[in-house]
Protein backbone atom coordinates (compact mmCIF):
# COMPACT_ATOMS: atom_id res chain seq x y z
CA UNK A 1 0.00 0.00 0.00
CA UNK A 2 2.71 2.52 0.88
CA UNK A 3 4.70 1.59 -2.22
CA UNK A 4 1.64 2.20 -4.39
CA UNK A 5 1.03 5.49 -2.56
CA UNK A 6 4.67 6.56 -3.15
CA UNK A 7 4.37 5.75 -6.87
CA UNK A 8 1.19 7.85 -7.17
CA UNK A 9 2.85 10.69 -5.28
CA UNK A 10 5.87 10.48 -7.62
CA UNK A 11 3.61 10.65 -10.69
CA UNK A 12 1.69 13.59 -9.26
CA UNK A 13 4.91 15.48 -8.47
CA UNK A 14 6.31 14.78 -11.95
CA UNK A 15 3.04 15.95 -13.52
CA UNK A 16 3.04 19.16 -11.47
CA UNK A 17 6.67 19.80 -12.43
CA UNK A 18 5.90 19.31 -16.14
CA UNK A 19 2.88 21.63 -15.96
CA UNK A 20 4.97 24.33 -14.25
CA UNK A 21 7.79 23.91 -16.77
CA UNK A 22 5.47 24.09 -19.79
CA UNK A 23 3.67 27.12 -18.29
CA UNK A 24 7.00 28.89 -17.79
CA UNK A 25 8.06 28.15 -21.38
CA UNK A 26 4.76 29.45 -22.78
CA UNK A 27 4.95 32.58 -20.62
CA UNK A 28 8.54 33.26 -21.76
CA UNK A 29 7.55 32.83 -25.40
CA UNK A 30 4.58 35.16 -24.95
CA UNK A 31 6.75 37.84 -23.27
CA UNK A 32 9.35 37.54 -26.06
CA UNK A 33 6.70 38.11 -28.73
CA UNK A 34 5.26 41.02 -26.76
CA UNK A 35 8.72 42.62 -26.54
CA UNK A 36 9.28 42.18 -30.29
CA UNK A 37 5.93 43.84 -31.04
CA UNK A 38 6.81 46.73 -28.72
CA UNK A 39 10.19 47.22 -30.43
CA UNK A 40 8.50 47.42 -33.83
CA UNK A 41 6.62 50.52 -32.63
CA UNK A 42 9.88 52.47 -32.08
CA UNK A 43 9.84 55.39 -34.53
CA UNK A 44 12.77 57.44 -33.19
CA UNK A 45 16.17 56.95 -34.78
CA UNK A 46 19.45 58.62 -33.87
CA UNK A 47 23.18 58.08 -33.46
CA UNK A 48 24.48 56.37 -30.33
CA UNK A 49 28.02 56.23 -28.95
CA UNK A 50 29.25 53.06 -27.25
CA UNK A 51 31.07 54.03 -24.07
CA UNK A 52 32.56 51.01 -22.32
CA UNK A 53 32.05 47.47 -21.10
CA UNK A 54 30.65 47.56 -17.57
CA UNK A 55 30.69 44.74 -15.06
CA UNK A 56 27.84 44.20 -12.63
CA UNK A 57 28.43 41.17 -10.47
CA UNK A 58 29.24 38.26 -12.75
CA UNK A 59 27.67 39.78 -15.85
CA UNK A 60 29.18 42.24 -18.33
CA UNK A 61 27.35 44.55 -20.71
CA UNK A 62 28.05 47.27 -23.24
CA UNK A 63 27.10 50.80 -22.14
CA UNK A 64 26.00 53.33 -24.75
CA UNK A 65 24.49 56.80 -24.82
CA UNK A 66 22.35 58.84 -27.17
CA UNK A 67 20.46 62.12 -27.05
CA UNK A 68 16.73 62.63 -27.34
CA UNK A 69 15.12 66.03 -26.87
CA UNK A 70 18.40 67.50 -25.64
CA UNK A 71 18.62 64.91 -22.86
CA UNK A 72 21.41 62.33 -22.58
CA UNK A 73 20.08 58.80 -22.22
CA UNK A 74 22.22 55.86 -21.13
CA UNK A 75 21.54 52.31 -22.19
CA UNK A 76 23.07 48.87 -22.06
CA UNK A 77 23.27 45.77 -24.21
CA UNK A 78 24.33 42.33 -23.01
CA UNK A 79 27.16 42.09 -25.53
CA UNK A 80 30.81 41.89 -24.51
CA UNK A 81 33.02 42.87 -27.43
CA UNK A 82 35.75 45.38 -26.67
CA UNK A 83 36.06 46.16 -30.40
CA UNK A 84 32.68 47.94 -30.26
CA UNK A 85 33.76 50.54 -27.68
CA UNK A 86 34.05 54.25 -28.67
CA UNK A 87 32.22 53.79 -31.98
CA UNK A 88 28.95 55.13 -33.35
CA UNK A 89 25.90 52.97 -34.13
CA UNK A 90 22.23 53.48 -34.91
CA UNK A 91 19.84 53.58 -31.95
CA UNK A 92 16.07 53.12 -32.22
CA UNK A 93 13.88 54.43 -29.43
CA UNK A 94 10.30 55.02 -28.36
CA UNK A 95 9.34 58.64 -29.08
CA UNK A 96 6.94 58.75 -26.12
CA UNK A 97 9.36 57.30 -23.56
CA UNK A 98 12.95 57.08 -24.84
CA UNK A 99 14.39 56.34 -21.39
CA UNK A 100 12.41 53.11 -21.06
CA UNK A 101 12.29 51.87 -24.66
CA UNK A 102 15.46 51.86 -26.76
CA UNK A 103 17.98 49.51 -28.32
CA UNK A 104 21.22 49.81 -30.26
CA UNK A 105 21.76 48.19 -33.66
CA UNK A 106 25.31 46.82 -33.75
CA UNK A 107 25.18 45.26 -37.22
CA UNK A 108 27.12 48.04 -38.89
CA UNK A 109 29.24 50.85 -37.53
CA UNK A 110 28.30 54.38 -38.57
CA UNK A 111 30.91 56.87 -39.77
CA UNK A 112 28.99 60.12 -39.19
CA UNK A 113 30.36 63.55 -40.06
CA UNK A 114 30.65 66.29 -37.45
CA UNK A 115 27.45 68.05 -38.54
CA UNK A 116 25.30 64.95 -38.05
CA UNK A 117 26.94 64.32 -34.66
CA UNK A 118 26.17 67.87 -33.51
CA UNK A 119 22.59 67.50 -34.78
CA UNK A 120 22.32 64.24 -32.81
CA UNK A 121 23.31 66.10 -29.61
CA UNK A 122 27.00 65.26 -29.25
CA UNK A 123 29.70 67.85 -28.52
CA UNK A 124 33.40 67.79 -29.25
CA UNK A 125 35.54 68.19 -26.14
CA UNK A 126 39.20 69.22 -26.11
CA UNK A 127 41.52 67.70 -23.56
CA UNK A 128 45.27 67.78 -23.03
CA UNK A 129 47.74 64.96 -22.36
CA UNK A 130 51.14 65.60 -20.88
CA UNK A 131 53.95 64.00 -22.87
CA UNK A 132 56.49 63.45 -20.11
CA UNK A 133 58.82 61.23 -22.09
CA UNK A 134 59.81 63.09 -25.25
CA UNK A 135 58.66 66.69 -25.55
CA UNK A 136 57.63 67.53 -21.96
CA UNK A 137 54.67 69.48 -23.38
CA UNK A 138 50.91 69.18 -23.32
CA UNK A 139 49.44 67.63 -26.45
CA UNK A 140 45.94 68.73 -27.47
CA UNK A 141 43.43 65.99 -28.28
CA UNK A 142 39.68 65.94 -28.79
CA UNK A 143 36.85 63.43 -28.52
CA UNK A 144 33.07 63.33 -28.94
CA UNK A 145 30.89 63.27 -25.83
pLDDT at 39: 66
- In angstroms, rounded to a whole number, what is the distance separating the alpha carbons of residues 82 and 85? 6
Query: Are 53 and 111 in the same domain?
Result: yes
Query: Are 52 and 104 in the same domain?
Result: yes
Query: Are 36 and 49 in the same domain?
Result: no
Domain that holds residue 18: 1-40
pLDDT tens-digit series, residues 86-133: 999 999 998 888 888 888 988 989 999 989 999 999 999 999 988 887
Q: Is residue 131 part of a domain?
A: no
Query: Are 25 and 51 in the same domain?
Result: no
pLDDT tens-digit series, residues 7-45: 777 777 878 788 788 777 777 666 656 667 766 778 888
Q: Is residue 109 part of a domain?
A: yes
54-68 average pLDDT score: 89
- In angstroms, rounded to a whole number, what is the distance separating the alpha carbons of residues 144 and 126? 9
Q: Is residue 15 part of a domain?
A: yes
Residue 92 pairs with which residues in a beta bridge? 45, 103
H or E segment at 24?
Answer: helix 2-40
Query: Are 25 and 55 in the same domain?
Result: no
Amino acid sequence: MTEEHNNKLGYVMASVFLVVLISFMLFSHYRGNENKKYRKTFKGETIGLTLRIKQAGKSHFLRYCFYSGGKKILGGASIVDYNLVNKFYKVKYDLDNPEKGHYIILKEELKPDSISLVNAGFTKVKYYKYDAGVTCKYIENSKWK
